[in-house]
Every structure is written in structure tokens, then in C-alpha cells.
Amino acid sequence: MREEEKNTSLKKFFKKRWVYPTVYIASAALILTGVLWFQNSNTENATDSEKFGYETPGKNQFNEPADEVARSMENIVLPLSQKDRTNAVIKTKFYEDTANEADQEAAIVVYQNQYHPNTGIDIAVEESEAFDVMAALSGTVTKVQEDALLGNVIEIKHDDNIISRYSSVKDMKVAVGDKIDQGQALATAGKSLFNEEAGVHVHFEIRKDGVPVNPENYLNKPFSELQEASMQEDGSTDSEKSETEQPEKSETDKETSGTEEEPAKDEKSSTEEDRSTSDDESAKEEETSTDEKPSTDKEESSSDEKNADDMKDETTNNNKNQDA
């Protein structure tokens, strides 16, 4: 009787509405506490590993400075603000030995009746007498010099012995040793005695291993491309040299193709001559054959006449013998 009473009491207990929700909530709370306890144990182990000198995988394992990697991925841009780049005009281009005569003349600066090849590009902005000069690349300022002839000079050093130079500027806003980010204002564009014809402008140069390179060849291209370029003896890079050699190769290809076509023409003419000579020979053979045919006919007719005469003589002789 007592067991039956216990069973009936349990059934009555589980029939109540609040029993199952409380069981679910209690089980969920137990599971959640177990998960939190497991996570806390992992974090404690991680802190213990730091005490013993272990490095977490989230740190830089290769000891590579992040700034240098970011700078190598920068695209070289004009040293102007985004607004002024749309109205930028290059007054004087970079002097290149491989350029044609007209471009070389346009890239020469005349100062005191002397001709100087331009080692950079002179940039102006249309309808603007004063515009800000920005850093084309990130780097460190190594030179800030007042120069009446060049109109003040600012130099910024980059990786792999590459230097960017800004001259013909005023109101300089940086000092030697400053870390410069790309697009940071350096100064304001001004004038220079060296190139007065350019007016208000900024003279922008890029030098690799002390040799000036054409900035236009690397505009809107990653800085790593300039880093990987190797300088030639004439001051040009590998990419510039390959660009200048391509048209020369095309001309030589044209010359070789022209020389190759001439023998083909000679072969055609020789075949035509052979055909004409063979035709002439065949015509001559036909003429000789036609000439020979009448002669044979004449000989045959003459032989027939002789045979007829002989027959006549025989008949006459026979008649004479009969008469006798």
C-alpha cells in the first residue's frame, strides 16, 4: 500500500504545471555554468603560458615591421591634394636620353644662357596661384633647406635608398627628423629663380641610389615596383629600358621581314622565267615538226612519180618486144 501511495504522489507531483519548466531551467543553468568554467580554465592556462615566455599565435612571429610593409604597398602619387590633381599641369617634364628631340628640348631649363636637363617634373595647378604641396610617399624628413635659387628644398627618405625631393616651395611645415605620412602637407608651392618660366609650381624629384628617375613612369604604381627596379649605367631602370627597346625591336623585325620577302619574289620570277623558256622550247619543237612534215610528203610524192615512170618504161619495153 505504501508503494502505491508513493507512485500516486509522484504522478500527482509531475502533473503540476511548474515542474517541467523548473527542470528545464535547472538543467540549462548547469550546462551554462559548465561551459563558463571550461572557458575560464583555458584563459588561465593562456596567462600561465605568458608567464613562462610562450608567445600567443596572434603576435607577429616574423618580426616584420608593419609600417614598412604598408609603405611598400603605397601607390606613388602627385604631391598635390586630391582636388588639385584633377587640374594639375606638368610645365617641364623629365629629361630622358631616349626621348625624341622635341621632348628633350621641352625638358631643358635655361638659366643664365646655360642649358640644364630637368632632373624632375615641374607641376602647376590651373587657375591656382597658391596650392599645398603634399607628401607623395610616407617617410622621414632628412633635409629642410632655404635656397633662393631653387626656391627652398625638402627631402624625404624612404626605404631602399630612395629619396623624394620637393623644391620651389615656401611656408615649410616640417622639420628634419619628422615622420611623414603620405598626403601630409609639407609646404606651399612658390617660385624659383632657376625656372622662372614655370611660374608658381613645385619641382618634384625621385632619386634611387642617388640617380634621378622619371616620376611619371611610377605614378599610380606601387612603391614596391620602384624598390625592385635596378639602376642601369645610363641612369634608367630596367622597366624604362625595356620600354625604349620595344620599338627598336619592331623596326628590326620589319627590316628582317622585308629582307625575307625579297627572296620569295626572286623565286617567283625564276619560276616564271622557267615557264616562259619551257613554252618557247615547246613552240620551237612544234615548228620544227611542222617543217619536217611537208618535206616527207614531198619525198613520198617524188618516189611515187618515179615508180609510175618505171612502170611506163616497162610497159613500153613490153610493147616493143611484142611488135618485134
pLDDT of residue 266: 47
- Averaged pLDDT for residues 134-141: 96
User: Across all residues in the chain, what is the average pLDDT?
Assistant: 75
Which of 117, 92, 202, 111 lies closest to 152 in space, CA to CA?
202
DSSP 8-state class, residue 84:
H
**Lowest-pLDDT range of 136-140, 204-208, 239-243, 252-256:** 252-256
pLDDT of residue 19: 73
Phi/psi-derived region of residue 259, left when phi > 0, alpha when psi is between -120 and 50, beta in every other case:
alpha
User: For residues 235 and 211, is the Cβ–Cβ distance under 8 A?
Assistant: yes
Say what the pTM is.
Answer: 0.55
- Averaged pLDDT for residues 31-47: 76
